[in-house]
Structure 1
Amino acid sequence: MQLPKLTGSVLSGLHCFLIAADQMSFTRAAEVLCLTQSAVSHKIKNLEDSLGVKLFIRQPRKVILTDEGKRLKAVVAQNFGDIAHEIRDLKTLELSGDFNVSAPPTFAQTWLMPRIKSFIDKYPALRLHLRTRNDLIDFQTETFDCAIYFGHGKYAGLHSEKLMDESMLPVCTHEYALRYNLYDRPDNLVMCMLLHDAAPWARAGRNDEWQYWAQRQGITLPEVGCTFDRSDLALQAAERGIGVAMGRMSFIAEQLANERLVIPFDMPVKSPLSYYVVCRQDMKSSPRVKAFQDWLADEIANVE
């Protein structure tokens, strides 16, 4: 028996034949393939016409494989199985090796690191290399697969996928709030030491985060205070009673839960920026980047 050219129609027919031969029923094969019984019968009839041999003996309540059908089933099952295993192996190769990711320092420390074990456990063949920095990546000269940015989502020549929004509000210790009478008195911030993240996002000024919050609340604040190059350092300073830090809600859940920090007045402001996964355009369909994005989306959904 000589096979014809393996066109799309023949390959589709061979797959349909294999399912029908396994089920020994066109009706059950139709259920597996989400087709009608007549569509399955039509596909197999076309395949028989293409091959020039009869594959099934049709009886009123069942079908029986002919000798030619039995021979073809053995060959197709083995080769389709080999193809399936090869595809699985190719996908496994795509999800192995070095995986280079950049993320903002505080996001990496307070949000990503407590969760990253589940990603490593899920993709043990990927060797994660996480690097932290506040500035943007030069994807043309640096070997990063993707980066997490806190920004506006528009980066020339790059692909970006939004992860989540952010909101922010002032936090301090309970003792500091009492000392400066801050509970429900945001106007008393003028007497406080303001703790600034000097690099809350790329190209930001050292007072930008506090001033953005104050403007949205109609409050005038001085631009003086202590500055740090990471948000988590400003939060640590607040925990030590040095002053009031601008807390991002994604970062302060643990401190609020164990009361190391408090919210003296519930006046959150939605940040003008959000978190994005960013990569080169030619990497947006990369299995490893998509796996990382899907994992991040699942983690965010679990928080929500």
Structure 2
Amino acid sequence: MRLPKLTGPVLSGLHCFLIAADQMSFTRAAEILCLTQSAVSHKIKNLEDSLGVQLFIRQPRKLTLTEEGKRLKTVVAHNFGDIAHEIRDLKTLELSGDFNVAVPPTFAQTWLLPRLKLFIDKYPALRFHLRTRNELIDFQTETFDCAIYFGHGKYAGLHSVKLMDESMIPVCSHEYAIAHDLYGKPEKLSVCMLLHDAAPWARAGRNDEWQYWAQRHGVLLPEAGCTFDRADLALQAAERGIGVAMGRKGFIAEMLEEERLVAPFAMSVLSPLSYYIVCRREQASSPRIEAFFDWLKVQVD
């Protein structure tokens, strides 16, 4: 067997040969490789011509490896296995070191943090660094690997993937709802204290969430209100009977289940914005970012 140059066609032929030798069938090898049976036969014939030896004894409805074919299968299987293990190890190295993520504060506290141990346990070699902020990240000057935005999903020069939609509904304590006769009476909001997240998304106005909800349900809102720079603070204020907050379903599910908050009227609205996972376009295929993206999507599903 003469030593051929390991050109692309030869390497491709060796891979095709290994699959066919494992299956002992050109037809099954073609199915695995998504090729036609004739293409597999052609690749192996070209490989045999390059090597100067016959690898298969072709009989009607039966393939048999020649002695040279058996020797080659052993060597190729061993070396292709080593390559596969090395690629796996290289990817494992990529899933180590510092991993910096920026997330909106309330999303971090109420949605991500309760689930984060699962990710850290799955990738213990990653040193996870979580930073919270409502503002958009400058990926050109800041060292974040990726971020979660609550927005429209279109960010110049960045790769973004939708994580989940969001809906909103007013919430307060049961005692506040009773005191202000709110159950089933959204018009009573006109005499209530509204609790605003002053920065529900980047560049938002302090009452944008409330106004969006009120316009879609035709409800008149009062002028009076308190503002907070984090949604979780507005929700905590509502829990303590200060007023009525606009709750996002991703933040309030546990509070509603535990009856720390109530939704006095079933008038939710789909938010105009959604949660997106965002990173630099050139980093979208990074193993650590792909691992985080995939893990987040599993948590949503």
Normalised by the length of structure 1, the TM-score is 0.92
Aligned CA-pair RMSD: 1.9
Superimposed CA distance per residue, residues 172-227 of structure 1 (whole angstroms, 9 cap, x where no aligned partner): 11121111100111111121111111111112222222222222222221232222
- Residue 247 of structure 2 aligns to a residue in which SS? strand
Task: Report the alpha carbon displacement of residue 268 of structure 1 after superposing the two structures with TM.
Answer: 1.1
Task: Report the alpha carbon displacement of residue 8 of structure 1 after superposing the two structures with TM.
Answer: 2.7
Distance in 2 between residues matched to 1:243 and 1:32, nearest whole Å: 63
Normalised by the length of structure 2, the TM-score is 0.92
Distance 1:220 1:25, change over 3 A: closer
Distance 1:159 1:58, change over 3 A: closer
Task: Report the alpha carbon displacement of residue 144 of structure 1 after superposing the two structures with TM.
Answer: 0.2
Task: Report the alpha carbon displacement of residue 30 of structure 1 after superposing the two structures with TM.
Answer: 4.5
Aligned pair 1:300/2:300, yes or no?
Answer: yes
Contact in 2 for aligned 1:151/1:201 (Cα 8 Å)? yes
Superimposed CA distance per residue, residues 213-259 of structure 1 (whole angstroms, 9 cap, x where no aligned partner): 22222222123222211111111111111111110111110011111
Contact in 2 for aligned 1:99/1:128 (Cα 8 Å)? yes
Task: Report the alpha carbon displacement of residue 277 of structure 1 after superposing the two structures with TM.
Answer: 1.1
Q: Which residue of 1 aligns with 2:52?
A: 52
Distance 1:31 1:219, change over 3 A: closer
How many pairs were matched up? 301
Superimposed CA distance per residue, residues 118-167 of structure 1 (whole angstroms, 9 cap, x where no aligned partner): 22222222221111111111111110001001112222222222212211
Distance 1:290 1:208, change over 3 A: same
Aligned pair 1:78/2:78, yes or no?
Answer: yes
Please tell me the residue identity of whatever aligns with 1:164.
M
Contact in 2 for aligned 1:207/1:223 (Cα 8 Å)? no
Greater Cα offset, 112-121 or 214-223: 214-223
Q: Which residue of 2 aligns with 1:238?
A: 238
Aligned pairs for 1:148-159 (under 5 A) are 148-159=148-159
Structure 1 residue ranges without an equivalent (≥5): none
Contact in 1 for aligned 2:164/2:275 (Cα 8 Å)? yes
Contact in 2 for aligned 1:196/1:246 (Cα 8 Å)? yes
Q: Which residue of 1 aligns with 2:180?
A: 180
Task: Report the alpha carbon displacement of residue 168 of structure 1 after superposing the two structures with TM.
Answer: 0.7
Aligned pair 1:3/2:3, yes or no?
Answer: yes
Distance in 2 between residues matched to 1:207 and 1:33, nearest whole Å: 57
Distance 1:137 1:61, change over 3 A: closer
Q: Which residue of 1 aligns with 2:280?
A: 280
Task: Report the alpha carbon displacement of residue 7 of structure 1 after superposing the two structures with TM.
Answer: 2.8
Distance in 2 between residues matched to 1:10 and 1:199, nearest whole Å: 60
Distance in 2 between residues matched to 1:91 and 1:265, nearest whole Å: 51
Distance in 1 between residues matched to 2:154 and 2:138, nearest whole Å: 15
Q: Which residue of 2 aligns with 1:191?
A: 191
Aligned pairs for 1:25-40 (under 5 A) are 25-26=25-26, 29-30=29-30, 32-33=32-33, 35=35, 37-40=37-40
Q: Which residue of 2 aligns with 1:225?
A: 225
Task: Report the alpha carbon displacement of residue 38 of structure 1 after superposing the two structures with TM.
Answer: 4.6
Distance in 2 between residues matched to 1:31 and 1:214, nearest whole Å: 58
Superimposed CA distance per residue, residues 232-291 of structure 1 (whole angstroms, 9 cap, x where no aligned partner): 111111111111111011111001111111111111122221111111121122222122
Distance 1:25 1:238, change over 3 A: same
Superimposed CA distance per residue, residues 7-45 of structure 1 (whole angstroms, 9 cap, x where no aligned partner): 332222211222333344445545554555554433322
Distance in 2 between residues matched to 1:284 and 1:123, nearest whole Å: 18
Contact in 1 for aligned 2:189/2:220 (Cα 8 Å)? no
Distance in 2 between residues matched to 1:39 and 1:285, nearest whole Å: 31
Q: Which residue of 1 aligns with 2:255?
A: 255
Aligned pair 1:43/2:43, yes or no?
Answer: yes
Greater Cα offset, 6-15 or 246-255: 6-15
Q: Which residue of 2 aligns with 1:116?
A: 116
Distance in 2 between residues matched to 1:69 and 1:7, nearest whole Å: 19
Q: Which residue of 2 aligns with 1:16?
A: 16
Distance 1:47 1:103, change over 3 A: same
